[in-house]
Amino acid sequence: DGGITQSPKYLFRKEGQNVTLSCEQNLNHDAMYWYRQDPGQGLRLIYYSQIVNDFQKGDIAEGYSVSREKKESFPLTVTSAQKNPTAFYLCASSMPHQETQYFGPGTRLLVL
Amino acid sequence: EDQVTQSPEALRLQEGESSSLNCSYTVSGLRGLFWYRQDPGKGPEFLFTLYSAGEEKEKERLKATLTKKESFLHITAPKPEDSATYLCAVQIRGSQGNLIFGKGTKLSVKP
């Protein structure tokens, strides 16, 4: 079955800790994206990557970092510099030269 | 500034009561408009893509339409299982593909 997987489903972060959210896809999509969703707000773009070993900042990149070493994987690290990390994080991917983005099931990050 | 506004924020319908959700947009140049359905605690599920004014797409009880300023998602004879949050997003011409989302419309359909 082709699709996008995100893990873990729930993640707890302690003060000053960096945590990494996983996103894997087997759809052979070139482009991958990370969004953050807060209650009452639209999805906001954190980072995106059009090809391996290249990525760009989105609208709210401060306090986050990413890597794209493999086509299938686009992990997101929430650093200690992100002061308000509690949110629902969504990963998406799309075919090259196609606009439609397909989303994973999401990771909910909570602060202890 | 590119902007997407969805209305209403919430909509309650009785089963079988048809209605429409609105997505208005102000963008420098539209490449595509997207509708997604999102259930609580889940990722958005793709419904439709519209590219040009006058275009319409249908899927079961849902029909999406597009004008130069807004899109409508029409729901005909809804059922309780249609209850979800419906998200609208636009892609700007010349961008690298990222989407600008509205805040969504939460639809509740009562039996």
pLDDT digits (tens, 9 = 90+) for B80-93: 999 999 999 999 88
pLDDT digits (tens, 9 = 90+) for B1-28: 889 999 999 999 999 999 999 999 998 8
For residue B40, how far is the Cα from the chain centroid? 17
Counts of helices then strands in chain A (DSSP H, E): 0, 11
Q: What share of chain A is helix, strand, coil (3-state, %, to 5)?
A: 0, 50, 50
- All residues at 6 or more sequence positions from B67 whose CB lies less than 8 Å from its CB, including other chains: B53, B54
Give me the residue from B36, B42, B97 closest to A31, CB to CB: B97
With contact defined as beta carbons under 8 Å apart, do A75 and A85 qualify? Answer: no
Which residues of B sit within 8 Å Cβ distance of A?
4, 31-32, 34, 36, 41-46, 49, 87, 89, 91, 96-104
pLDDT higher than threshold 70 for residue A96: no
| Alpha helix (H) residue ranges in chain A | none
> Which residues lie across from A67 on neighbouring strands?
none
With contact defined as beta carbons under 8 Å apart, do A70 and A52 qualify? Answer: yes
| A41 neighbourhood in chain B, CB within 8 Å | 103
Mean pLDDT of A1-14: 90
State the CB neighbour count (10 A cutoff) for residue B10: 10
